[in-house]
Amino acid sequence: MSEPARPSRRRLLAGLAALAIARPAVAISVAETCGRPGAGGLSAVACRRGIWFGSAVASSDLADPAYAALVAAQCALLTPTWEMKWKPLRPGPDSFDFAACDRLAGFARQHGMALRGHTLIWHMEMPVWLLQSLSPASWEGLLERHMQTVIGRYRRLVSSWDVVNEAVEPEHGRDDGLRDSPWLRVAGPDYVVAAYKLAGRFAPEARLVYNDYGCEHEAEWTRRRRRAVLRLLERLRKADAPVHALGLQSHLRVGDAFDAAAFGRFLGEVRDLGLVPMVTEFDLRADRVRGADEKDRKTAALAKAYLDTVLAAGCDTVVCWGLSDDKSWRAAEEPDDRPLPFDRQLAAKPLYQALEDALSRSAS
Ligand code: G3I
């Protein structure tokens, strides 16, 4: 019996290429980043528990070699503070400018890190041309092209996408608690469902996150926000929209009430919806506290209480919104504040220790 014809090398390679395209890319995992060269600091402690630790970074931050080295040593995950938003990415309706975002992506790849995709829909940083061209007829095509291009470019590097950021605003008086944003005005409240379904088409392997602020402390306005966030997440689940996690921005403030039991109950409702809680923009404002030592003491204590609660609820990601105090988004108006784990001379502070202790203790 004659031997079956051996497939030519070309046909074999073509078959492998087709297989690769057909198989969805696998999003980078925290385990993959644990073995990255130079892994250390908080990400090494977090890795042992299967937890991502990282920081927000602006591409301009990386021009400082000492800060770049600190980020490389401490972080397994980076969130672009600005570079992946519409305004910097989209100079015009038919153009993309990936230069700044590619610099951040290149740094992440060089150091074996992942990126967070922040953010595909937000009511801020919308270029003027987008605001002028959004309409009931145009919005879905504009969003689809943006998502397909941006997700496609960074798909292998991004472990989770903030598909929609800050879509609720109970003070706007809507029954559904949604923000009266340009997206809602042209597309109606179901734009959120459409956004997650679109993102799920372009990144079926990635974690899709709803990201928001003001759910952490205990006050009437935060309880209203929690209810609005839960209502939105229920809406997404009922519509079979692929949403996998709630991104808690976690911009905390010393002196605002924190009730671990009440916050824990809210996190329980999030888990009951099948979602993972994530800490996505962690920093602690101590503007009401006088003196560096007292600021450090109180931020560390609040960080401990907060992180213990959120990690106990299954949080598997902690991203600080910067690593050193000079990189804080409030550094200009509050230069004496100390909201981040390292001081302006890149020395670790008590907040660093609080993060390390909480990540070491976490059960997950
Ligand atoms: O670097 C550019 C410069 O090249 C350009 O000429 C100039 C023109 O305005 O803009 C500069 O970029 C600034 C960018 O920060 C620098 O990183 C933008 O103006 C400025 O708007 C941008 O602010 C960011 C803000 O979001 C708005 O996008 C902050 O860095 C960033 O920390 C902040 O982060 C937000 C999260 O995305 C959502 N949660 C709240 C958080 C804090 O506000």
Q: Is residue 71 situated within a structural domain?
A: yes
Count the domains in the chain.
Answer: 1
Cα-to-centroid distance, 309 and ligand 1 (Å): 30
User: What per-residue confidence (pLDDT) applies to 27?
Assistant: 78
Q: What is the pLDDT of residue 89?
A: 98
Protein residue with its CA nearest to atom 39 in ligand 1? 249
Query: Burial level of 64, CB count in 10 A (0-12/13-18/19+)?
Result: middle
Domain span at residue 133 reads: 13-361
pLDDT one-digit tens code per residue, 332-348:
999 999 999 999 999 99
Compute the distance between CA of residue 72 and CA of residue 76 in angstroms, rounded to an integer.
8
Around 275, how many Cα atoms within 13 Å sit in the side-chain half-sphere?
Answer: 28
1 located within any domain = no
Residue 4 within a domain: no
Atom 7 of ligand 1, residue of closest alpha carbon? 88
Which residue has the least CA distance to atom 43 on ligand 1?
A: 329
Q: Answer whether 359's CB lies under 8 Å from 45's CB.
A: yes
Amino acid at 134: L
DSSP-derived letter for residue 39 is -
Average pLDDT, the chain: 93
- When pLDDT is cut at 50, 70 and 90, the band that residue 21 belongs to is very low
Q: Which residue has the higher pLDDT, 17 or 104?
A: 104
- Say yes or no to pLDDT of 170 above 60: yes
Cα–ligand 1 centroid distance for 260 (angstroms): 31
* C-alpha–C-alpha distance, residues 340 and 349, integer Å: 8
The residue to mutate among 55, 60, 61, 81, having the most atoms of ligand 1 within 8 angstroms of its beta carbon, is 81
pLDDT-derived band at 19, boundaries 50, 70, 90: very low
Instruction: Kindly provide the residue ranges of all beta strands, DSSP E only, lying in 223-304, ordered along the sequence.
Output: 245-248, 251-253, 276-285
Q: Kindly report, residue by residue over 250-289, the tens digit of the pLDDT.
A: 999 999 999 999 999 999 999 999 999 999 999 999 999 9
Among residues of the chain, what percentage have pLDDT more than 70? 92
Judge whether 57 lies within some domain: yes
Position 171 in a domain? yes
pLDDT recorded at residue 38: 81
- Asked if 151 contacts 161 with a C-beta cutoff of 8 angstroms, the reply is yes
2 is a domain residue: no
**Distance (Å, whole) CA 87 – CA 90:** 5
HSE (side-chain half, CA atoms, 13 Å) at 284: 30
Pocket test for ligand 1, best of 59, 82, 164 (most atoms within 8 A of CB): 82
- Tell me whether the omega of the peptide bond preceding residue 299 falls within 30 degrees of 0, making it cis: no
pLDDT, one tens digit per residue, over 29-83 is: 888 888 888 888 999 999 999 999 999 999 999 999 999 999 999 999 999 999 9
Q: What is the reported pLDDT for 188? A: 97
Residue 6 included in any domain: no
- Is 311 within the bounds of a domain? yes
CA dihedral 216, 218, 219, 224 (to 10 degrees): 50
| SS3 state of residue 120 | strand
The Å distance, Cα 6 to ligand 1 centre, comes to: 58
CATH of the domain at 258: 3.20.20.80
On whether the CB atoms of residues 229 and 245 are closer than 8 A, the answer is no
What pTM, to 2 d.p., does this model score?
0.93
Closest ligand 1 atom to residue 59 Cα is 17
Predicted local distance difference test score (pLDDT) of residue 23 = 45
Task: Inform me whether the pLDDT recorded for 143 exceeds 60.
Answer: yes
SS3 96: coil
> What does the pLDDT read at residue 264?
98
Greater model confidence, 5 or 231: 231
